[in-house]
Amino acid sequence: MVRKIMLTGGGSAGHVTVNLALIPRLQAEGWTVEYIGSHTGIEKQLIANAASVQYFGIATGKLRRYMDWNNVKDPFKVVQGVVQAYRIIKRSRPDVIFSKGGFVSVPVVLGAKLSGVPVIIHESDLTPGLANRIAIPLATKVCTTFPDTDRHLPKSKAHYVGAVIREALNRGSMARGRAWSGLAADKPVLLIMGGSLGSRKINLAVREALADLLERYQVVHLCGRGQTDDTARAPGYIQAEYIQDELPDVLAMTDLVVSRAGSNSIFEFLHLRKPMLLIPLTKAQSRGDQILNAQSFRQAGYSDVLPEEALTAEALVSRIDRLYADRQAYIRRMEAGAPHTDALANVMDLIKRVAKRR
């Protein structure tokens, strides 16, 4: 009997990454995979590269914690999205829906509840995000990445699986990374990424510090959508909005990472044993989840943390130099303390068990 699963999640790459890791495993085990996302979000672009996955676009409204005129009209988009998702789900009749979160997932989870289809939610962060908090009462199970997340969830729904790592990351090639970038083998490589949507403040600090950084490092700078700067050109400096297929190879040649503190990314760096300097989103920009993620990693000895409020070009260079000097100690702690769970297998097992009950 052919099983069918519908995936959802979007708004940023972090709300798609786990789904991208699941798709090859699901297809290899004979599942038909479909996806519901927004009409124009990054999830549509990312899923377009996944073979044999039918994509359905629905109306979405962003869930904001601040005053904005769009808060008046976006609830109507959410209602429209619920109706569209309900019709898609009733027509497609999946055995189970897997939601990675983000505002696009709320109409899908509501549509699934109305259709009687079980929902599994995945929560990457230490505490559940707003979209998942809305959806959790409607879900059958909630997968968690951090063990401590369980205390924020109903005991009957919480299911610790660990960090889901994309299998493609294990196939990264240092040689292919150097061929793609043109960077040399005799100088350390620094990967800087501010998330799929980018970070203007990190980008400005990097460009101000670039001359100093290039004295000691080669830099791959992932700037975010629409945030590259054609005037910032120098030997040993590569910039791009975002990379997907090349990322495993770039990570294979990377010595240090400067990054936001989204859970999916930092657990992937941990898996690959990449010393990291984390610059989490501030509470003014978010609910503070990245601050908690970063604190957890710093306490475990896996990363250093530079608050964005303290970010300057001088501070960035100083902290990167300190991280590089201590890199072997960070790697040893990651090798000794990183959890050894097969999260992908755990999620697959849960999906099959929930689908079987239907």
pLDDT tens profile 252-266: 999 999 999 999 999
CA trace torsion 3, 120, 110, 7 (10° rounding): -50
Per-residue pLDDT averaged across 311-321, rounded? 98
Rounded to an integer, what distance in angstroms lies between the CA atom of residue 35 and that of residue 231?
39
In degrees and rounded to multiples of 5, residue 298 shows phi and psi of: -65, -40
State residue 225's pLDDT score. 83
pLDDT band at residue 77 using 50, 70 and 90 as cut-offs: confident
Considering only residues 225 and 92, tell me which one the structure prediction assigns the higher pLDDT: 92
State residue 358's pLDDT score. 67
Residue 217 has pLDDT above 90, yes or no: yes
299 burial (CB, 10 Å; 0-12 / 13-18 / 19+) is exposed
State residue 63's pLDDT score. 56
Q: Which domains does the chain have, with CATH numbers?
A: 4-162+341-357 (3.40.50.2000), 168-337 (3.40.50.2000)
DSSP 147: G
Which segment of 62-66, 121-125, 183-187, 220-224 scores lowest on mean pLDDT? Answer: 62-66
State residue 30's pLDDT score. 95
State residue 103's pLDDT score. 87
Tokens, residue 32: 């038909």
pLDDT band at residue 131 using 50, 70 and 90 as cut-offs: confident
Considering only residues 285 and 293, tell me which one the structure prediction assigns the higher pLDDT: 293
State residue 73's pLDDT score. 60
Considering only residues 73 and 231, tell me which one the structure prediction assigns the higher pLDDT: 231
Mean pLDDT score across all residues of the chain: 91
C-alpha distances in Å from residue 269, one per residue of 21, 49, 88, 213, 303: 15, 23, 36, 21, 10
% of the chain surpassing 70 pLDDT: 94
Per-residue pLDDT averaged across 162-187, rounded? 95
State residue 22's pLDDT score. 96
Residue 83 has pLDDT above 90, yes or no: yes
Residue 193 has pLDDT above 90, yes or no: yes
State residue 355's pLDDT score. 93
State residue 198's pLDDT score. 60
% of the chain surpassing 90 pLDDT: 73
Residue 74 has pLDDT above 90, yes or no: no
Residue 331 has pLDDT above 70, yes or no: yes
Per-residue pLDDT averaged across 126-138, rounded? 90
330 burial (CB, 10 Å; 0-12 / 13-18 / 19+) is buried
Per-residue pLDDT averaged across 339-350, rounded? 91
pLDDT band at residue 294 using 50, 70 and 90 as cut-offs: very high
pLDDT band at residue 330 using 50, 70 and 90 as cut-offs: very high
Residue 296 has pLDDT above 70, yes or no: yes
Considering only residues 55 and 147, tell me which one the structure prediction assigns the higher pLDDT: 55
The winner for highest mean pLDDT among 26-35, 61-70, 228-237 is: 26-35
Coil vs helix vs strand at 22:
helix
pLDDT band at residue 121 using 50, 70 and 90 as cut-offs: very high
State residue 196's pLDDT score. 60
Is-contact 128 152, C-beta < 8 A?
A: yes
pTM of the model: 0.86
First to last CA, the chain: 13
pLDDT band at residue 70 using 50, 70 and 90 as cut-offs: low
Q: At a CB cut-off of 8 Å and minimum separation 6, what does 334 contact? A: 270, 273, 302
State residue 290's pLDDT score. 93
